[in-house]
Amino acid sequence: MDALRSADGPDSPDSQDMTGRPLWLAGLERGLLTISVICILAMGALITLNILTRTFFGWSFPDSVIIVRELMMGAVVLPLAYVTAGRAHIMVEVFTSRMSPGAQLWLNILSSAVGSLTLLPIVYGGYLDLTGVWEDEAYFFGDLGLPEWPGRLAFFLGYTFFVVRLVVLTLQDVRELMIFKNKNK
């Protein structure tokens, strides 16, 4: 695989991590994962604070349901690209593990390509929703009048980088398949 890489292009060893992933994308994925972890911690803190204030003081944190719902979007959607990079999605390997390495490569290509094409309408819908709430300056009804765009932005970014990662995986799998075919000639 190293023989296929140019010395200073996007496929050069200096622009990839140990697994062959582009460093710029791996860095973005780690950043989105970090934001997701912060969202989870913030949800836990807010729910705990809400329970404590209801129990001991008889009041709840304003708009806590809205805040938790928006944080949930970041917690669930933002790490999708990171999980995909490690091929850590739940999958049934009973069938595929019995196939030849070449067939497994074809299945990897098929799943990544179909997945990225399937998600394109979702990304586009997320974009339309984000731009709609941004242009309308939409706010949630509640005590704090929180804007609606942060959750929509998390959704759009999470799915956009999910699709980008799937496209990168498709290209990497095609390259692996070409190398595999050249070795087995």
Alpha-carbon gap, residue 146 to 129, rounded angstroms: 17
Query: Could you tell me which of 29, 33, 35 has the C-alpha nearest to residue 150?
Result: 35
CA-based angle 105:110:113, to the nearest 5? 120
- Whole-structure pTM value: 0.82
pLDDT digits (tens, 9 = 90+) for 6-54: 334 444 445 565 556 678 888 899 999 999 999 999 999 999 999 999 9
pLDDT computed for residue 7 by the predictor? 39
- Tens digit of each residue's pLDDT (9 = 90 or more) over 125-143: 999 999 999 999 999 998 9
| Token pair belonging to 122 | 């979702």
What local confidence, expressed as pLDDT, does residue 4 receive?
Answer: 36
